[in-house]
Amino acid sequence: MSEKPVESLSEGEAAEELKRLAAEIAEHDRRYHTEDAPTISDAEYDALARRNLAIEERFPDLVREDSPSRRVGAPPAEGFAKVRHAVPMLSLAKAYTDQDVADFIERGRRFFDRDKDLDIAFTAEPKIDGLSASLRYENGVFVQGATRGDGTVGEDITANLKTIADIPKKLQGSGWPEIIEIRGEVYMTYAEFEALKQRSAAVGGQDYVNPRNTAAGSLRQKDPSVTASRNLKFFAYAWGYTTADPAPTQYDSVQKFKEWGFKVSPLMVRAKSIDELIAHYHRIEEQRSSLGYDIDGVVYKVDQLELQRRWGFVTGEPRWAIAHKFPAEQAMTTVERIDIQVGRTGTLAPVARLAPVTVGGVVVENVTLHNEDYIKGFDSNGQPIRDGIDVRIGDTVVIQRAGDVIPQIVSVVIDKRPANAVPYEFPHTCPVCGSPATREINEKTGKEDSRRRCTGEMICAAQAVERLRHFVSRGALDIEGLGAENIDLFFNSGLVKTAADIFTLKDRRPAVMRALAERREEQAKLREEASGKTRKNVRSVEERNYEGLDKLFAAIDARREPELDRFIFALGIRHIGETTAAVLARQFSTIEELIRVGKEMAKAENPHSVFPSINGIGDTVINALRDFFGNERNDDVLDALLAQVHPKPYVVEISAGSEVSGKTVVFTGSLEKMTRSEAKAMAERLGAKVAGSVSAKTDLVVAGPGAGSKLKVASDLGIEVIDEDTWLQRIGRGG
């Protein structure tokens, strides 16, 4: 996306850009650190972070409380006990060129300029691409292990870490401090990753994306035996809290780790010049593909611990260390065909099917082509990409795994283009249901949207599955036990075609049991074929029972009267997220009223003559509502759903005695008795306004475990801070 140069931004534009970047980077942090499922490359992420920092440096008075430059990682995931790190686990500054490294060295030499005879040494070691972990040893015994989390609070994964053979349960040798937190990286080798993929495929399990995400997911298993089966590895390279330094230098400390029973990188060296460091960087880069595990750069650190302490830290980063990132690996292959996939909102997403090629230790066979403009060689602003060269079936292309995760086409080798290759014709009808696929006009730019969408909505089978998955998802109706796997099974079995069918599943119990049993039977056969062992005393499909079926039906019945905002969000209307759904629920109070207004808008020449003016609701949302409720093909589906589900009217519980009515409330930290969205909805129903950051306008801060810098801001401003239990008591919900 074309961005306005930082030096050209006005103060107002800078404030808006910092707001956008804070939200976008926070979401990417969550996907990477908490969900282990990044959606952009490291380079793209770093570009966002650099732009944020550049704006902050130019406009220091605009630095936000939730600025990405003030945090590390993401909040710990729910489901594990929290561990507060005695010494924060910080991130590293990034270098992308040799000059960046030279600048790092020069900064150090300038800092220690008065020490004329000082001989500064540095260490250089591979940057392992895995999940950071901290291991606490007391009197040589491993007592607790945690993830990085947000750098201050991580997740307690002690039981899972104990299954890793590279992590000693008791330190070997002697000379270790009374207490020390050894830090390092948990990772998965390529060989183990491929073996896991094959085992999973044999039983119809999930398809794992890459070793880093798989290692991270393996560490977050509730059952340690699952973690043990993944054969994870660990390299030690640093330490946190300790009662004594392992050695006077970084290099010698890491060698001590080796004596104590840890695996350390054999590629770690000590050097004194920029030339030595860069030379070692290129040696590691050359060996990268043969190491058998993922690395994404080389880390340089000042070797002498006393100099590390003197040079100190900046926000979230040590000054004495830097990560020199590798450029993305590339490979050449051919485009065998282009397929169109249809998403939940009807987006036609083109995917290039490639002749398989290995990039960064992973076999790549598919790559997204984003939209029809991208295929033609242009970005969303009409600017040329790939030198304006389009992608055709039969083309030879250069691909790379951006950030070693997401494959992308870098260029087309035009000299190798077949003589019979023709420009790709993007379909104007949905390949699944045959409905027209159109490109809407973006209200902000006046230009066509870059994506083409199917207009079939609820009659489109491709959209139906994705809509059903969304309908039962956590932020929507949150039906326990009805995840993506069961939705796919019930849809393909003909048991669930629309959301209304979910609520009649109990009436078709025998068919549901049969579908579940047949899947279990199929998976058992695959396991049998994979293991070569024959099962004995196999019961018939009809005799097989499905444990928890009654629990599933009960979970479905428990959602027959959902909160109105959840129901609106569950409908999957374009541009209607959780926040907008809550605004609509508050405004219209009942689903019947929202439908009435939506249908009246569809008939009116000017929708604004019908739709009330609502703060935060613009033409994009208004048009989406008009299109959805004005589409007659949705009527029968929606009527059938409302015959089964009765959303609760949205009632604002404001009373004369309400202590929070009219107040601005901020929730921070991890809430333990309710989700963040539930807390927000509860506060809004009581007449409070919920804000995302603390300011002079904030009246109350509700802080859970892991609350960070917002507490300091609240303290500085003299704002009242309470815990979750006190909040519940104050609003009359306490025990």
Interval 159-172: pLDDT, tens: 999 999 999 999 99
* Residue 272 is among the residues annotated as catalytic for this protein: no
Going by C-alpha positions, the residue among 189, 202, 170, 199 that lies closest to residue 231 is 189
At position 332, the amino acid (one-letter code) is M
**CA dihedral angle for residue 607, residue 611, residue 616, residue 622, rounded to 10 degrees:** -40
Distance between CA 589 and CA 568 in Å, rounded? Answer: 11
pLDDT score recorded for residue 545: 47
Domain at 564-644, CATH homologous superfamily: 5' to 3' exonuclease, C-terminal subdomain (1.10.150.20)
Which pLDDT score, from 0 to 100, does residue 203 have? Answer: 65
CA distance 156 to 163: 14
Cα–Cα distance for residue pair 193/202, rounded to 1 Å: 14
The region, left, alpha or beta by phi > 0 then psi within -120 to 50, assigned to residue 204 is left
Q: Apex CA 651: angle with CA 646 and CA 657, to 5°? A: 150
Looking at residue 402, what is its pLDDT?
Answer: 56
Q: Give the H or E element holding residue 512.
A: helix 509-531
Distances (CA, A) of 652 to 99, 163, 657, 686: 59, 51, 14, 6
CATH of domain 330-438: 2.40.50.140
Alpha-carbon span 72 to 20, nearest angstrom: 18
pLDDT at 649: 92
The CATH code of the domain at 664-730 is: 3.40.50.10190
Model confidence pLDDT, tens digit, residues 134-166: 999 999 999 999 999 888 889 999 999 999 999
State residue 265's pLDDT score.
Answer: 96
- List pLDDT tens digits, range 266-302: 999 999 899 999 999 999 988 876 788 888 899 999 9
Exposed/middle/buried for residue 429 (C-beta within 10 Å: 0-12, 13-18, 19+):
middle
Residues ≥6 apart with Cβ < 8 Å to 729: none
**d(C-alpha 504, C-alpha 506), whole Å:** 5
Provide, for the chain, the percentages of residues in helix, strand and coil under a 3-state DSSP scheme, each rounded to the nearest 5: 40, 20, 40
Cα distance between residue 157 and residue 16, in whole Å:
39
Architecture of the domain spanning 6-71: Orthogonal Bundle (1.10)
Taking the C-alpha atoms of residue 433 and residue 446, their distance in angstroms, rounded to an integer, is: 29
Residue ranges of the domains in the chain? 6-71, 84-325, 330-438, 458-557, 564-644, 664-730
Class of domain 84-325: alpha beta
Instruction: Read off the pLDDT of residues 407-460 as tens digits, 9 standing for 90 and up.
Output: 889 999 999 999 999 999 999 999 988 889 998 776 666 777 888 988 887 678
Which ranges of the chain have pLDDT less than 50? Answer: 1-2, 77, 404, 537-545
Which is it for strands 700-703 and 664-668: parallel, antiparallel or unpaired?
A: parallel
Mean pLDDT of the chain: 85
Assign domain 458-557 to its CATH architecture.
Answer: Orthogonal Bundle (1.10)
Quickly list H helices, 220-347. Answer: 224-229, 250-259, 274-287, 305-311
DSSP secondary-structure letter at 73?
A: S
Bridge-partner residues for 94, per DSSP?
A: 323
* CA–CA dist 660, 720 (Å, integer): 12
Taking a C-beta distance cutoff of 8 angstroms, is the pair 391, 324 a contact?
no
DSSP state of 32: I
Catalytic annotation, pick one of 127, 233, 256, 301: 127
Backbone region of residue 610 per phi and psi (left: phi > 0; alpha: psi in -120 to 50; beta: other values): alpha
CA distance 709 to 698: 15
One fold for 458-557 and 564-644: yes
Inter-CA distances, 377 with 317, 349, 407, 411, 448, Å: 39, 16, 17, 10, 16
- Residue 355's alpha-carbon distances to 88, 341, 370, 390, 418, in angstroms, are 45, 19, 19, 18, 15
* pLDDT of 543: 40
- What's the Rg (C-alpha) of the chain? 28
Residue 372 host element (H or E): helix 372-376
Least Cα distance to 669 among 630, 721, 600, 626 occurs for: 721
